[in-house]
Amino acid sequence: MSVFKGAGVAIVTPMYENKEVNYDKLGELLEEQVARGTDAIIICGTTGEASTLSHEEHLDVIKYAVEKINHRIPVIAGTGSNCTETAVYLSQEAEKYGADALLLVTPYYNKATQKGLKLHFSTIANSVKLPVILYNVPGRTGCNLLPETIVWLVEHVENIVGVKEATGNISQVAKLMSLAGEDFELYSGNDDQIVPIMALGGCGVISVLSNVAPEKTHEIVASYLEGDVKRSCRLQLEAIDLVDALFCEVNPIPVKTALNLLGKEAGPLRAPLCEMEEANEARLRKAMEAYGLL
């Protein structure tokens, strides 16, 4: 059984102007996502600025999300690290707090070999009992998790169930799915490739777009799963300009800006992330207006 099928939101971490975590606003965003049809919450991922949260904050945010959602939809905790021991610690704590699954990004900066990646992910997954979704995003980590390595991990580690695929390389995804078994769980990590990845056997998306357009993102996946590929494709293409604008600067700068433009009070970003360039913010605003959000 899949961890989830549909559109999971890689949710932002709202902050006060002093850069402390704003739990009240986080609670509001979580409730809104549930009410608007989102199928899973991914907490403390890239979009949640996990890399600039302290370990204590990281775990507090996970705990808060688990308690707020209270089993209504799955909560998937981002507990990856470029240090295997740190990832084990975060993963074990998230399990204690009641997370439904874990999302483990490839180690960043270290640039591990494929052998090292097998060791890293096996060590973390074997330290917990929760389902584990790997996260392959070489554009941010400098490390590509190859299809053969992913399949080896799924075959040799019982609770590694699939991957969030954000290479942008459809040929690599096709190679992966040609090697993977029927129960393998493939999630798009790119909002502009939901339909292509669904066509290769995907079961959903872990989405930035869902922060601002949860219903539409859910509908892209739901339409495909219901067999209405034409509608799914139309909805995907209608979102392309907005998706491009949401990634015209490094994530989560644009999506936090978008939420602030919508009056959601997501707050500022922690350094080294910073406010959007004026020209890019104007582009984002225009795309949001065209999509009917403003």
Given the structure tokens 């270290």, which residue do they identify?
110
For residue 237, the tally of other CB atoms under 10 A from its CB is 12
145 located within any domain: yes
Q: At what angle do helices 84-97 and 114-125 cross, to 10 degrees?
A: 30
- Which residues of the chain are modeled with pLDDT < 50? none
Q: Using CA atoms, how far apart are residues 53 and 242, in angstroms rounded to an integer? A: 28
Separation between Cα atoms, residue 128 and residue 96, nearest integer Å: 10
Residue-wise pLDDT tens digits, 246-260: 999 999 999 999 999
Active site residue 89: no
Q: Name the domain count of the chain.
A: 1
What is the pLDDT at residue 120? 98
Full residue range of the structural domain in which residue 67 is found:
6-226
Outline where DSSP puts E strands in 26-100. 40-43, 75-78
Rounded to an integer, what distance in angstroms lies between the CA atom of residue 131 and that of residue 185? 11
**Residue 217, in any domain of the structure:** yes
User: Is residue 130 a contact partner of residue 157, using CB atoms and an 8 Å limit?
Assistant: no
In a domain, 234, yes or no: no
Tens digit of each residue's pLDDT (9 = 90 or more) over 148-194: 999 999 999 999 999 999 999 999 999 999 999 889 999 999 999 99
Residue 280 lies in a domain: no
Helix (H) or strand (E) holding 29: helix 23-35
Residue 46 included in any domain:
yes
Q: Is 16 a catalytic residue?
A: no
CATH number at residue 64: 3.20.20.70
pLDDT at 1: 64
Residue whose C-alpha is closest to residue 121's, from 99, 136, 140, 139: 136
User: Is 271 within the bounds of a domain?
Assistant: no
Whether this model's pTM surpasses 0.85:
yes
Residue 132: inside a domain, yes or no? yes
Q: Which candidate in 63, 135, 187, 224 is catalytic?
A: 135
176, 165 contact by CB (below 8 A):
yes
Token pair 């300009």 in the structure block, residue: 241
**96-114: burial string, b at 16+ Cβ within 10 Å, e else:** ebbbbbbbbbbbbebebee
Contact (CB, 8 A) for 62 and 96: no
Tokens in use for 105? 């990004």
Considering the candidates 63, 68, 164, 256, report the single residue annotated as catalytic.
164
Residue 292 lies in a domain: no
Cα angle 107, 59, 140 (rounded to 5 degrees) comes to 25
